[in-house]
Amino acid sequence: MKQFLSILAMAMKLLHPLLGRWLGRGPFCLLLTANCLLATAQSFPVQVVAQAVPPAPIYFSSYSDAGTVNGPLRVQLVLNDLGISDREIRLKAYFEGNGISFQSNDVVSGAGLLFLEGGIPLVLGNTELAPYFRFGNLTGISPAGYGQAIPEGTYKICFEVYAVLTGNRLSRRS
């Protein structure tokens, strides 16, 4: 933040004499500050790549079946900060589309502990992801909806990564 303010002050000193005739100092500062704040994108230290493995399940409960050898989902997590080791994380899963929308709870019963090492991909398969789709770990879907076949259509299954210690979100929604 100090670096940002010093750059802003330097830019003001350089540009103010040039633009001072057209704009007063106050509006110019406000305009430049607003532009800088809008232009900066939030970067997250964890990259999430979710892959759907065909064929797609017919029932929601199929996503929670840890016994299948080749499950319908695979998720790769990469901590981009090479200086961090043993970062304990938790996942949050989202299912959206065709008028259906539900998500996993913040605390997922039956989910194993997950740790990330900087630069080393962690690949989660059906066994690790199944608890996130068990009915007891979901919010936003009724028992009747969970037991029905998934209607044909396009769906998004997304994941977010959170730090266990701080609760901060560490990734974009995949």
CA 111 vs CA 4, 19, 40, 67: distances in Å:
41, 58, 35, 15
pLDDT tens per residue across span 71-83: 899 999 999 999 9
Residues 90, 150: one domain?
Answer: yes
Cβ atoms within 10 A of the Cβ of 30, count? 12
pLDDT band at 30 (very low <50, low <70, confident <90, very high): very low
pLDDT recorded at residue 174: 86
Closest CA to 126 of 50, 49, 41, 67: 67
pLDDT recorded at residue 69: 73
Residues 16, 75: one domain?
Answer: no
Residues 11, 58: one domain?
Answer: no
Angle between helices 25-39 and 2-19 (to 10 degrees): 130
Residues 50, 132: one domain?
Answer: yes
Residue range of the domain that includes 23: 2-39
CATH of the domain at 106: 2.60.40
Residues 69, 113: one domain?
Answer: yes
> Structurally, how many domains does the chain consist of?
2
Residues 31, 84: one domain?
Answer: no
The whole-model pTM stands at 0.74
Of 40-54, 55-69, 124-138, highest mean pLDDT: 124-138
Judge residue 86's burial from the number of C-beta atoms within 10 Å of its C-beta, 0-12 exposed, 13-18 middle, 19 or more buried. Answer: exposed
Determine the average pLDDT of the residues in 90-113. Answer: 96
pLDDT tens per residue across span 156-169: 999 999 999 999 99
Torsion on CA atoms 69, 72, 78, 84, rounded to nearest 10? -60
- Is residue 93 assigned to a domain? yes
Residues 55, 139: one domain?
Answer: yes
Closest CA to 125 of 76, 160, 77, 74: 74
